[in-house]
């Protein structure tokens, strides 16, 4: 029914189709037609509705142009194999299935929409159709298992640098790996790894970027208050292929640098882009809220904090809050 409705509009572009005609042809009520149109709107289709004339299809969801991306991409392996989907549950799940079938390092899984996008700490990740970049990249790093958190920071640096270059927006990194614009989140990173006998087998780096979401694309006010997109921040839409191309190139070059020179250079870049350091921060722990002053990044990926009694400690995971607003 959904498909048939869409076919009717696509067969007669630029024409208004009346509710009466649609409901007669599809043998259903006008309310049912209205509900399907609303669902199509949520999927990114745009309709003009005029009383006594009906509905006209005026826009379709954006689709990534993968051949154009591949023709511009100047990497050795990152993104050279792309598995592109209209809809998946989660690109993380698809990437893991591909590893099991022998996929190579740098393989990219990308989808226009995720129905079960996942975030850190077991949260859901809202991934509406054609509005963002929802992707997972497969890494097979030659590093000891305990260094895996460094990779998360590396991905955050690559993403922050490439988004700054492409958009010119003042984007910062909130420990450990959220990207913020004016205090709101535009991107999140989720690393999932697999190890055997203390040896790292592979890492699936999942990245979500809110690119062209509008305020109405967020499901509720709670998310609208915390999240934003590059389009909302800049007041214009962005070409997703440009963003992807820049990111993959930046990621590959930092990843190469990391294998050649270790974490030192990445740590310096992370600290320079961070909005979490040299300020008072709070961390929610199972025992309550801890507060301290963030002084630096530890090689383990932890944030080093001076506690009120003057002692230094490392916080390894969780979500921090800023005790004072942005400077």
Contact status, residue 275 vs residue 172, Cβ threshold 8 Å: yes
Using CA atoms, how far apart are residues 40 and 3, in angstroms rounded to an integer?
A: 10
Q: Report the residue from 19, 128, 176, 208 that binds ligand BTN according to the rule CB under 6 A.
A: 208
Residue 206 binds to ligand BTN (criterion: CB under 6 A): yes
Residue 113: count other Cβ atoms within 10 Å of its Cβ: 19
Residue among 41, 53, 72, 123 that touches ligand BTN (CB under 6 A)? 123
Cα 129 from Cα 115, distance rounded (Å): 10
Q: Cα–Cα distance between 148 and 126 in angstroms, integer?
A: 26
Task: State the binding string over 34-73 for ligand BTN (x if CB under 6 A, else -).
Answer: ----------------------------------------
CA distance 114 to 134: 8
Q: How far is the CB of 318 from ligand BTN (least distance, A)?
A: 12
Residue selected from 44, 45, 90, 157 as contacting ligand BTN according to rule CB under 6 A: 90
Contact between residue 169 and residue 257 where contact means Cβ atoms under 8 Å apart: no
Q: Which tokens belong to 101?
A: 């079938």
Residues 129-188 touching ligand BTN, rule: CB under 6 A, are 134-136, 178, 188
**Distance in Å, CB of 192 to ligand BTN, minimum:** 9
Number of residues that bind ligand BTN (CB under 6 A): 21
| 91 lines the binding site for ligand BTN (CB under 6 A) | yes
For ligand BTN, the nearest residue by Cβ is 188
Return the number of other C-beta atoms located less than 10 Å from residue 99's C-beta: 18
Beginning with the edge strand found earlier in the chain, give each strand of the sheet holding 320-322 in spatial order: 312-315, 303-306, 288-297, 280-285, 320-322
Q: Is 229 in the site for ligand BTN (CB under 6 A)?
A: no
Q: Which two tokens stand for residue 40?
A: 């199509």
Of the residues 108, 190, 203, 294, which one makes contact with ligand BTN according to CB under 6 A: 190
Q: Which residues bind ligand BTN (CB under 6 A)?
A: 90-92, 114, 117-120, 123, 125, 127, 134-136, 178, 188-190, 206-208
């Amino acid at each position: 029914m959904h498909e048939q409705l869409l076919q009717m509009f696509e067969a007669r572009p630029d024409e208004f189709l009346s509710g009466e005609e649609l409901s007669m042809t599809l043998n259903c009520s006008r309310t049912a037609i209205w509900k399907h149109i609303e669902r199509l709107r949520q999927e990114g289709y745009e309709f003009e509705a005029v009383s006594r004339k009906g509905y006209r299809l005026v826009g379709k969801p954006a689709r990534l142009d993968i051949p154009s991306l591949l023709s511009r991409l100047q990497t050795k392996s990152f993104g050279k194999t792309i598995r592109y989907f209209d809809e998946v549950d989660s690109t993380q799940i698809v990437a893991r299935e591909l590893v099991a079938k022998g996929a190579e390092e740098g393989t990219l899984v990308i989808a226009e929409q995720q129905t079960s996008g996942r975030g850190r700490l077991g949260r859901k990740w809202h991934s509406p159709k054609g509005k963002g970049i929802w992707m997972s990249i497969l890494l097979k790093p030659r590093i000891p298992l305990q260094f895996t958190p460094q990779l998360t920071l590396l991905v955050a640096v690559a993403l922050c640098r490439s988004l700054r270059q492409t958009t010119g927006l003042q984007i910062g990194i909130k420990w450990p790996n959220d990207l913020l614009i004016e205090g709101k989140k535009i991107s999140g990173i989720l690393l999932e790894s697999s190890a055997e006998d203390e040896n790292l087998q592979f890492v699936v780096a999942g990245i979500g970027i809110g690119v062209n979401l509008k305020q109405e694309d967020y499901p509720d006010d709670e998310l609208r208050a915390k999240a934003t997109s590059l389009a909302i921040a800049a007041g214009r839409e962005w070409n997703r292929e440009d963003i992807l191309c820049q990111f993959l190139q930046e990621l590959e070059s930092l990843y190469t640098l990391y294998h050649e020179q270790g974490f030192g250079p990445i740590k310096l870049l992370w600290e320079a882009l961070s909005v979490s350091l040299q300020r008072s921060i709070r961390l929610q722990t199972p025992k309550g809220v801890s507060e301290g002053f963030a002084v630096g990044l530890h090689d383990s990926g932890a944030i080093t904090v001076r506690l009120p009694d003057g002692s230094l400690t490392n916080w390894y995971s969780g979500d921090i809050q800023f005790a004072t607003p942005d400077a």
